[in-house]
Structure 1
Amino acid sequence: MTGKPLLVILGPTGIGKTALGIAIARALDGEIVGADSRQIYRYMDIGTGKPTPEERAAAPHHLIDIVNPDENLGLAQYQRLAYAAIDDLHQRGKLPLLVGGTGQYLSAVTEGWSIPEVAPDHTLRAELEAFAAANGSLALHARLQQLDPAAAAQIDHQNVRRVVRALEVCLLTGEKISDLQRKKPPPYRLLHIGLTLPERAQVYARADARVDTMIAAGFVAEVRRLLDLGYARTLPAMSGLGYAHLAAHLLDGLPLTDAVAKTKNDTHDFIRRQYTWFRGHDLGTLWHNGEALSVAVLLRQLEAFLKG
């Protein structure tokens, strides 16, 4: 295996990727490149599990807080920014760590997707968005399921922007976006480290506890601030786990207990989709128990990888 090293740390939400990434970065003179489609947004800190200022001071992070909630960052844009960050770290003699749980971000970088350059059709987008508003995101997702089942399996129905984009490519080109995403592997020497737990129920329980911690840390106030800043709950950024339900709590009177329960259920669904993605795009991931992993042992195992 040739090329400069790129260490990838992946796993389901709330499993401990950030802490492991920081520990390795500090030990091996590395810096972290984020692979989380929610942590790119400013002002959305608690609900996205964004690294704290203290954690970001402990190890430099890239591709976090790079757009406002009403701005879009396409997959091709993310890929270009990630490659630029990784190449810059290599030039500075640093070890890049790609850390996150967004499957498309991880695969676009590590598999070298050639993302289709299809110009947006704003009229078509408006029609599809109106359909979703009138019939629900599941109905829109069902249309994608008919046209491109592979893409539908990989895109969360709540992420209306991505569903619309996949439909847009299908309808404008007559091709499936999943077929157009050709691969040209990047010139990196890859090692994938995955964090999980022995039982799926343990992963869900950990995620539930994390939601409770977020609520205690001020998640509701964070959503209130976003709304006060003028960011509509219909924005794609606000489809992230918890944000829409807490907006409904604040604007529609949904009981907080119900909003929290819905957030936990959505998180379980999201975790299932993450594992499906990891299985379908496995590049030899070395899986570890996220609650029993010895960082010291892992660092010794990384020595051979770093030596090339």
Structure 2
Amino acid sequence: MTTLFLSHPSGLEHDTGAGHPERADRLRIIEQMVEHERFQNLHRALAPGADTPALLRVHPEEYVRAIENAAPKEGLVRVDGDTIMSPGTWTALMHTIGGASAAVNEVMRGNAANAFVAMRPCGHHAERATPMGFCFFNTAAIAARHAQAVHGAERVAIVDFDVHHGNGTQDIFWDDPSVLYCSTHQMPLFPGTGAVGEVGEHNTIVNAPLSPGDGSEAFRAAMETRVLPRVDAFAPDLIVISAGFDAHRLDPLASINLEAVDFAWITEKLMGLAAKHSKGRIVSVLEGGYDLEGLAASSAAHLLMLMSA
């Protein structure tokens, strides 16, 4: 089995306007990166269109229709202060969700060792019925629910190492004992959630905030003392990674000082837990990462480690 890499050209058609950090160049740099010979054994495939039932397991139909209707025929529209839609956004969203569902299918069926979905828009700030923070639909949450509904996964762990807290994922699974949500993130920083005391109704929310200026040592300590032991104890049937690379030291939207090797390190640790509890099954979905050099190096390190399975 190999690592599955899912992407689609529609991800480039989600236009956020000049100067917006969440731009199409983010996908272009990842696509260029995987052309290198070291990725020659990577199994690449096009992300299919959305699995509508998968989308509706997380988001109400009225909300989904509202987002679809908000997409402009031309120009750009803002659904909040920094979350922008263009004529290509809806199609990109459909292939992002479809890619996540397809990744879960292939991994849960044993056709791929693990998978990385390189699509945009990102998702972890999207709550059940609220878009925000560049996000419309919560890709990681949709992947988790799809694994449960279609493949019988009883417990899914979502590990989010994006530098911003995944308020949307936390909101969706706040009162659900079958999904463990763990996050490292900078505080204070957008969106303002993610305090240690936010644990959910069933103690299945694990927040490990980092301070501005923290680097590898603090990140690894947070993972080793708070996150990894909880994932181990939860013994998930699948691990979903919200793979944001904006904790890299070059990223302009935060001030955590990680290097690419740190993303390889946490990927390896999660692969060890997946091997122990979930037959190695990991589905990783792209979240943030806004410096192109940092994004390329970090996503390469993440993907190469996944390919070592």
Greater length-normalized contact order (CA 8 Å, ≥ 6 residues apart): 1
Do the structures match in fold with TM over 0.5?
Answer: no
Higher relative helix content? 1
TM-score, scaled to structure 2: 0.29
Relative to the length of structure 1, the TM-score reads: 0.29
Q: Look at both structures and tell me which one has the larger radius of gyration over its CA atoms.
A: 1
